[in-house]
A and B are shown apart, each in its own frame.
Chain A
Amino acid sequence: MAISTVDLQAAAGAAAPTPKPARRQKFRFITNTKTLIGLIILGFYVLLAIFGPMIAPYDPDARGDVLQSPPTSAHWFGTTHLGQDIFSQVLAGARGVVYVGLLAGLVATALAVIIGVSSGYLANTGGEALSALSNVFLVIPALPLIIIVASILPTVSNTIIGLVIGLTSWAWGARVLRAQTLSLRGRDYVDAAKATGESTWRIIFFELLPNLTAVIASGFVGTVIFAVLSEITLAFIGVADPTVWNWGTILFWAQSQQALAQGAWWWFVPAGLAIAVLGTALSLINFGIDEIVNPRLRNAGRIKGKSVRMRIGFTPVLGKENR
């Protein structure tokens, strides 16, 4: 950090105007519009996951008399070939989707932090081996691996699917964290901490991790997006238990009952839109985090200096705000 002019003046004993005490901006990420919108939508989905199954107007499994009807006032999203209410199925499915997404995100992030930070901080063969391990997992295509593991397992509950996805998708986070740790390790403040005799664990937990928060958060959100899509996919191709409702299960039944050929668009459009909006919300949160980490992305508008047209005999002077 450069020494500010205020410090210099103070050091010189000049009568500097007393600067306002710098206030640490807590929750700065909430002031970012993208993050805010994303968090609001995500909050709505979490509420759906908690209360959705309770407020569903019908039992999602119950067969009705109205077979495969388009949306009506009684059935907002229409019905299936058995007369099941699709609106209730979407509501009931939210819980599984959010649960698996969060579980896989937590497992993968924990692994990524352990493997990424230790491989970045420990500059020995152990660190290199961990880095090689994460590179291997990064290149092996995750989705086919998840499909194989999930279909070999004798029972597939939501928890098991979340664990399988989490255990196979930590590599990207680990790689990013390793790169960031490598760059932090050489900073002066870490050297200072070592010199004062802080233990390795204290340095990792109290000096490094707080500075990695943004990277960890963005890795977590990214993994949740991936986990939700993978879970939906598993359900869609019929690897997951088709009696447990999630949005992929709805699409599985729609596909296997030829909803498309019969023009039953209401059967697969709501579930897909629900996935897409959830994914968009998570991406928005990640863009917000990106902008906090990389200030150059923050300015949404056109930067003034960039649009300066160069002419002969005219020397543009770029203002400070362009730096």
Chain B
Amino acid sequence: MSYLLRRIVFYVFTAWAAITINFFLPRLMPGDPVQALIAKEQGQLSTDAVHSLYVLFGLDKQQPLWQQYVDYWGQLLHGDLGLSFTFFPTPVSEVISSSLPWTLILVGVTTVCSFMLGTGLGVLAGWRRGSWVDLVLPVTTFISSVPYFWFGLIMIELLAGPNSFFPSSGGYDPGVVPGWDIDFIGSAVQHSLLPALTILISSMSGWILSMRNMMVTVSSEDYITVAHAKGLSDRRVMLSYAARNALLPNVSGFALSLGLIVGGTLLVEIVFSFPGVGFQLFQAVGAKDYPLMQGIFLIITLSVLAANFIADLAYLVLDPRTRKEG
């Protein structure tokens, strides 16, 4: 149990760190950032936007920093992330909550699929090494070096078109009213296929490579030889002896990869104009909508922390050593 407790403490600490970074980032800017921004935009900012900037940078009232920090936490616990000024006067939390489900479903489904498929293919590639399966290596190396968004562009160029089944942009048909009915869900799934495929192929190669290398490392262990000598079937040795042990580093490597995959997904959304958090971040960056940008950063970070926690739970089930300690 102590393993689980340690992880929970760690995630609470990390969430605190992320929130604190989010608080201090705009306040660490040298000079008067709002004036700099107004000058940069050459008077194209509305007075509302200017005001919400002053609030964000903590320049609206003469309070000591710790007082601002306490207030910030108070607002945050009420779900108040400030006002977005691209969608003024909609609160940031409302803007994000409209786009978050799109991203969560897209990332969730594709990440789980790519982890399972990639790990499975990696097991085969590592076990059957030296045969034609080794051809997988150069191909996956190349694919994993391609930026997600560029791969998305190529997918659109090749697969989407005026007469194609795959739509090239948007989250659903303009003619469909969002709601829980067959028409809308069908249309949403159709629009998600191409972005999902892009993320799947791009992110899968990383899992294949790392799983293959772990399989190769594990398969020269003595206990594999013993398992063979016992006369167990090749399949059983591969799955229950080699893959089971090779899987552990892959699961714990989830933490690093998840951040990368989420980053890549944001970009794929931009390319496909998918109505998720990434596309919104893109719009916010274009409009210099700092409250929205910071809110999105916070939400993404918290989601990644939650996903990591789930990965930790999986690790707890897979590796008996973590359970023994306590």
Contacts and interface: CB of A to CB of B under 8 A. Distances in A.
Interface of A: 132, 135-136, 138-145, 147-149, 151-154, 172, 225-226, 229, 232-233, 236-239, 251, 255, 260, 263, 265, 268-269, 271-272, 275-280, 282-284, 287, 290, 294, 296-297, 300-303, 305-306, 308, 310, 312, 316, 318, 322-323
A237 B259 contact: no
A149 B294 CA distance: 10
Contacts of A251: 149-150, 153
B130 A272 contact: no
Interface of B: 10-11, 13-14, 17-18, 21, 25-26, 29-31, 33, 36, 40, 129-131, 134, 141-142, 144-147, 149-150, 153-154, 156-157, 168, 213, 216-217, 219-220, 225, 228-229, 231, 255-256, 258-260, 262-263, 266-267, 270-271, 281-282, 285-286, 288, 290, 293-294, 296-297, 300-301, 304-305, 308
B130 A301 contact: yes
Contacts of B33: 152, 154
Contacts of A226: 260
B14 to A, nearest CB: 5
Contacts of B14: 135-136, 139-140
Contact of A236 (B145, B146, B231, B267): B267
Considering residues B30, B130, B149, B304, which has the most beta carbons from chain A within 10 angstroms of its beta carbon? B149
B145 A237 contact: no
Given A132-B10, A302-B130, 7 more contacts: A140-B259, A144-B263, A144-B297, A236-B149, A237-B285, A271-B150, A280-B141
Contacts of A263: 157
26 contacts: A139-B255, A139-B259, A140-B14, A141-B258, A141-B262, A144-B262, A144-B300, A144-B301, A147-B281, A154-B29, A154-B30, A154-B33, A154-B40, A226-B260, A233-B149, A236-B267, A238-B285, A255-B153, A275-B147, A276-B142, A296-B220, A297-B217, A300-B130, A303-B220, A310-B229, A322-B220
Contacts of B153: 251, 255, 260, 268, 272
A310 to B, nearest CB: 5
A236 B270 CA distance: 10
